[in-house]
Amino acid sequence: MPRYLSLFKYSTEGTKGFLKEKASGREAAIRKAIESAGAKLELVYWVGTGEYSGIAISDFPDTATAAAFIATVVSTGSFSEFRGIELLTVSEFDRALTKSVSYRPPGA
């Protein structure tokens, strides 16, 4: 299962809802939404200061399901920023490094 790191920042309206529901309420809602997509929420951390409101790590059945989940939650307007980043294990990345790719840098 592809694993994703989600970095998210609530919009003004999303922040108002977060303050009303508290962190535990939002974590439960995130878990329910992810599980409805056939995925598994591994963890949620809230960011007290900084650029993002929180992060989540989830396992999705496939990349298309992750994309559908991200598109759905972003469409709500609750986020001013949402990044879904696929994570690779060491062995997955080592396999990727065995792939041959032809690339010419700009100006070369």
Domain boundaries, the chain: 3-93
Residues 63-77 have a mean pLDDT of 96
Residue 101: which pLDDT band, with cuts at 50, 70 and 90?
very high
- The pTM of this model reads 0.86
Instruction: Using alpha carbons, select from 82, 68, 65, 78 the residue that is nearest to residue 7.
Output: 82
pLDDT mean across residues, the chain: 96
Token pair recorded at residue 90: 């060491």
Would you say domain 3-93 falls under CATH 1.10.150.130?
A: no
What are the pLDDT digits (tens) for 13-23? 999 999 999 99
Residue 87 contacts residue 4 (beta carbons within 8 Å): yes
